[in-house]
């Protein structure tokens, strides 16, 4: 019998699921704010197919606040900066906040630390919208540090507080904590890492080690999906990252008897289902079992 084994953690995480359902409700007119156009500030999630579906429902992606004339604006799960939020308020548009509560927590910690006189170390990718949103909530005049070198070079700082981008690895956070402890008299750590990413990586790599070929689904523009594919490939060389069922390499799937399937946090269930259907199609005529990993 041939087998398709699905990672239980494949697909939307809590924050993305929540953001998508808020967007759906907004498109259906079920929440506050009356009528008018609906925009999302940046693509709601890193999955072109899901964004396209939302556009069909009337949710238009805009690049910046200046492009918004009125109506409703959905704030995506990464959050937005304080300046962007103030600009939206000044425009009088209805803000539908789909910021992931874990990101909001990180913003709140950063703000509280700065109000209590701590320099703030933000562990993460400084160009990522989530990190920009966290930094924007730090009180003006507070020293903000985002690299290990900046910790080593810091002067006149006695106490520092640490927050992390929600998708950072624990190891990376610990490197910053260690460096900060060597440098400052007082260090306060707020562990703002979300477990969803790490649990998905753990389950997917374990699954990759038990199957002949591993399919990783998700947007090519999703850093987390690319990373997921990378670490699965370290375990299983027949790891293939695709965005849709149409891209499934039938020749590879045809030559194996077990295929694992996982998906990044912004991959909708219908894409996972379509890939499973496509694998069944390639294996037409064989007995096929579909199950979840463990």
Residue closer to ligand F3S, measured from CB, 18 or 280:
18
**77, 133, 222, 225: which one contacts ligand F3S (CB under 6 A)?**
77
- 36-44, 58-66, 194-202, 268-276 -> range binding ligand F3S (CB under 6 A): 194-202
Q: The tokens 């874990």 sit on which residue?
A: 102
Q: Residue 72 CB, nearest distance to ligand F3S (Å)?
A: 21
d(CA 118, CA 161): 6
Q: Phi/psi of residue 12, each to 5°?
A: -50, 135
* By CB under 6 A, residue 102 contacts ligand F3S: yes
d(CA 6, CA 270): 14
* DSSP assigned state of 213: E
d(CA 41, CA 67): 9
Among residues 219, 230, 166, the alpha carbon closest in space to that of 45 is found at 219
Q: Which H or E element spans position 216?
A: strand 213-217
Q: Residue 170 CB, nearest distance to ligand F3S (Å)?
A: 14
Residue closer to ligand F3S, measured from CB, 151 or 218:
218
Clarify whether 130 is annotated catalytic. yes
Q: Residue 151 CB, nearest distance to ligand F3S (Å)?
A: 24
* By CB under 6 A, residue 15 contacts ligand F3S: yes
**113, 265, 271, 279: which one contacts ligand F3S (CB under 6 A)?**
265
Where does residue 293 fall: left (phi above 0), alpha (psi -120 to 50 degrees), or beta otherwise? beta
Give the footprint of ligand F3S on residues 108-137 (CB under 6 A). Answer: none
Q: Phi/psi of residue 186, each to 5°?
A: -130, 130
| Interaction site with ligand F3S (CB under 6 A) | 13-16, 77, 100, 102-103, 166-167, 194, 196-197, 265
């Amino acid at each position: 019998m041939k087998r398709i084994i699905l990672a239980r953690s494949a697909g939307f995480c809590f924050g993305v699921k929540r953001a998508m359902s808020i967007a759906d409700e907004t498109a259906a007119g079920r929440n506050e704010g009356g009528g008018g156009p609906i925009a999302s500030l940046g693509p709601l999630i890193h999955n072109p197919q899901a964004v396209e579906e939302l556009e069909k429902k009337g949710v238009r992606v805009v690049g910046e606040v200046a492009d918004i004339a009125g109506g409703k604006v959905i704030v995506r799960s990464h959050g937005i900066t304080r300046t962007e939020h103030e600009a939206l308020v000044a425009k009088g548009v209805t803000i539908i906040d789909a910021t992931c509560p874990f990101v909001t927590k990180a913003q709140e910690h950063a703000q509280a630390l700065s109000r209590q006189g701590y320099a703030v170390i933000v562990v993460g990718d400084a160009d990522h919208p989530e990190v920009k949103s966290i930094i924007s909530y730090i009180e003006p005049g507070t020293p903000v540090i985002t690299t290990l070198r900046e910790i080593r070079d810091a002067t006149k700082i006695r106490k520092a507080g640490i927050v992390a981008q929600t998708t950072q690895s624990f190891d990376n956070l610990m490197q910053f904590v260690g460096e900060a402890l060597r440098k400052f008299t007082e260090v306060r750590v707020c562990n703002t890492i979300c477990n969803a990413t790490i649990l998905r990586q753990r389950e997917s790599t374990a699954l990759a080690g038990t199957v002949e070929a591993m399919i990783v689904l998700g947007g090519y523009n999703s850093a987390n999906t690319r990373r997921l594919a990378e670490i699965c490939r370290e375990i299983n060389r027949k790891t293939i990252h695709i965005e849709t069922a149409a891209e499934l390499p039938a020749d590879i799937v045809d030559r194996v008897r077990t295929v694992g399937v996982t998906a990044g946090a912004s991959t909708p269930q219908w894409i996972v289902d379509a890939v499973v259907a496509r694998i069944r199609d390639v294996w037409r005529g064989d007995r096929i079992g579909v199950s979840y990993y463990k």
